[in-house]
Amino acid sequence: MRDRVTIEVNGGIADVRLARGEKLNAIDREMFDALAEAIDALAGRGDLRVVVLSGEGDGFCSGLDMAAMAGGDLAGLDLSARTHGPANRVQQVAWGWRTLPVPVIAAVHGVAFGGATQIMAGADIRLAHPATRFAIREVHWGIVPDMGGFALWRGVREDVLREWIYTAREFDAAEALAAGFVTRLCDDPRGEALALARRIAERSPDAVRSAKRLFGAMAITGPEAMLAMESAEQVALMQGANHREAVAANMERRRPAFRDA
């Protein structure tokens, strides 16, 4: 996996990097497998509090490795097989970040083309360098985005998204920000993402995981069920040791010592 994706975990923060920088982190079969394996490995870690996802080298990810695809690298992938809950293996490399129990922050720079735009969409928060170039390129190749994008792009301005997809044209970071495609722009996306991750990691891991569950249900749950879910999450939190520690630490003006999940 390490020749495609690296993971370093310190202080509850997983620093996940696409590690094919010499190819602008283009997605081949090995990259699909490595990303899916990375998500699976992180999903079961009780000590995990935040994930930062970035790319090595000159860009976040240039999308599908078309040369590898033309050479049959992706032959045999069964897109109809639901290998990860509702997702197939290809979709898991984007959808899987959204299903992790902890927040994921994408740090995007250089280029984010094609499948890269879907991978970053799986993150809870997306920080991008102002010079980043974006393109949802699939229609250019006579196909459509199928790595979870349509499920993950809820909240992006739809008419703008339709234009980007129908034309496959390149767009810049300012356009991406205006349409809600990225959260904010910054000159050092990875540095800011790690700093933000440290701030999140200081909070109760129980409360942060609970908030992510509520966000996950929000788009597909009616008001009555959503209100009940809020209450159930709150009752569970208020009965937990980390809530008591948060209250005590605030009252005593000290740094809290939270237990891992």
211, 192: one domain = no
Residue 75 placed within a domain = yes
On whether both 194 and 209 belong to a single domain, the answer is no
Residue 242 located in a structural domain: yes
133 and 233 in a common domain? no
**258 within some domain:** no
Question: Could you tell me if residue 76 is left (phi over 0), alpha (psi between -120 and 50 degrees) or otherwise beta?
Answer: left
Residues making up the chain, counted from first to last: 261
Q: What is the CATH number of the domain that holds 134?
A: 3.90.226.10
Q: Is residue 256 part of a domain?
A: no
* Each residue's pLDDT tens digit, 152-189: 999 999 999 999 999 999 999 999 999 999 999 999 99
Residues 100 and 228 grouped into a single domain: no
Q: Burial code of 247-261, b = ≥16 C-beta within 10 A, e = fewer?
A: eeeeeeeeeeebeeb
State which residues form the domain around 124. Answer: 5-200
pLDDT of residue 238: 97
What pLDDT score was predicted for residue 259?
96
13 & 134 share domain: yes
127 touches 189 (CB < 8 A): yes
- Are 122 and 226 within one domain? no
| pTM of model > 0.75 | yes
For residue 146, tell me if it sits in a domain.
Answer: yes
The model's pLDDT over 92-149, given as tens digits with 9 standing for 90+, comes to: 999 999 999 999 999 999 999 999 999 999 999 999 999 999 999 999 999 999 999 9
Cβ neighbours, 10 Å, residue 62: 25
pLDDT digits (tens, 9 = 90+) for 48-79: 999 999 999 999 999 999 887 776 777 777 88
**Where residue 231 sits, what CATH number does that domain have?**
1.10.12
Same domain, 185 and 246: no
How far apart are alpha carbons 9 and 194 in whole angstroms?
A: 12
Mark whether 121 and 222 lie in a shared domain.
no
Q: Are residues 123 and 155 in the same domain?
A: yes
For 182-226, the pLDDT digits (tens) are 999 999 999 999 999 999 999 999 999 999 999 999 989 999 999
- Asked if residue 214 and residue 148 are part of one domain, the reply reads no
pLDDT of residue 213: 98
In the chain, how many domains are there?
2
